[in-house]
Structure 1
Amino acid sequence: MSEVYGLWLRLTDSGYALLDFMQAGGVVMWALAGLCVLFWTLAFERLWFIRRVFPQWATERLHAWQAMQQESAENWQRSVRSAWLAQAREQLMGPLRLSKTLVAMYPLLGLLGTVSGMVAVFDVLAINGSGNPRGMAAGVWQATLPTMAGMVLAISGLFSLARLERDARQAIERLADQLRHD
């Protein structure tokens, strides 16, 4: 029982530390957190689509392709193949545009946090002069946290997007190979 209670205390302490971290970064940190949740939801949806849904779609097209090869003219087959590959490209790559936009927004929001934090520093300087290092340090802290968070999110987002794009391109290439004219 004491192990469970100890785990509960550690989780509670971690939760409070995360809340303190988010509050120290200001409103921009909450916006970054919201965009982060949205981005990773989209990324996991794309991963699920590429690995689970698209192969079923591709299998249906492959069966239709095999049936079509037996009964239709070659020029018609090329048109159908091109249309299916265009559909596949749009299904796989199209939704990644929103994720790319979110990744581009991370550093910009971090920069907004920098500006708002520096405004807080200047407010402290205007009110108290330069004799309040604690107040200035809080503003600098507020300025650096969103910048760091925006950069970390952008870097992790770029790596995951590169992986998703590579997987999508490979799926399109596999489909193109399967739909070739024998």
Structure 2
Amino acid sequence: MLELFESLRDFTETGGIVLLFIGGLIFTMWLLILERIIYVNSGHRQFKKHVIATWQARTDRASWNAEQIRQAMVSRVSLKLKYSLPIIQALVALCPLLGLMGTVTGMIQVFDVMALSGGGNARSMAAGVSKATIPTMAGMVGALSGVFASTWLTRTAKTERTHLEDALIMQRQG
């Protein structure tokens, strides 16, 4: 276990302080993603059953008022499904930007070494180059994983809304 922490510390030192921010951002993003996945697989199903049962228990399912109530029910379910999706999407967009900030800080370190050594000492520039590339890689990996999860959650929310609209059938007047 101690070796794991030492490896993590070494990796963080190699990537610079920006890597800690990227790690915190990715951790937060995945906590929100996992919360949404758990909700979709458990809480949403119960809420959907409750909404359908409430609609089926109504005697008036044909009037204009009933249509408005139906739309309100669908909207409530849709809002619950999409609860933290904008935050997740913002965190996904922020990952590569923080990676770019790591690139800039790493390149500043490279230029500082070049200014102090007066030339192209490759060994002394290596630390700056790693501080420039590792945060970029971490930001892109976080963004890619978040894009896939965010897309799945968005598609699932849209599909579930459509299924609920189909389940809440309006009766014909006449």
* TM-score after normalising by structure 1: 0.88
The C-alpha deviation readout for 1:71-110, integer Å capped at 9, x for no partner, is 4652111101111111122211241000000000000000
Contact 2:60 2:66 in 1 (8 A): no
- Identify the match of residue 54 of structure 1 among 17, 29, 44: 44
Q: Which residue number corresponds to residue 123 of structure 1? A: 112
Q: 2:93 aligns with which of 89, 98, 104?
A: 104
Q: CA deviation at 1:18?
A: 2.3
Tell me which moved more, 56-65 or 141-150: 56-65
SS of 1:91 mapped into structure 2:
helix
Higher fraction of helix: 1
1:65 matched residue in structure 2: 55
Question: Using the alignment, how far apart are the partners of 1:12 and 1:181 within structure 2?
Answer: 63
| Structure 1 ranges of 4+ moved more than 4 A | none
Paired letter, 2:76:
Q
5+ long unaligned stretches in structure 1:
1-10
Could you list the per-position Cα deviations for residues 111-159 of structure 1 after superposition, in whole angstroms to 9, with x for gaps in the alignment? 0000000000011111111153211111011100000111111111101
Give 5+ residue unaligned stretches, structure 2.
none
CA contact (8 A) 2:61 2:170 kept: no
User: Which deviates more from structure 2 when the two are superposed, residues 40-49 or residues 84-93?
Assistant: 84-93
Distance in 2 (CA, whole Å) between partners of 1:67 and 1:93 is 27
> Of 153, 159, 164, which aligns to 2:142?
153
Task: Give the alignment's TM-score, normalised by structure 2.
Answer: 0.92
Check whether the contact 2:61–2:67 (CA below 8 A) recurs between aligned residues: no
Identity %: 39
Which shifted more, 28-37 or 80-89? 80-89
CA RMSD of aligned residues (A): 1.5
Q: Which residue of 1 aligns with 2:34?
A: 44
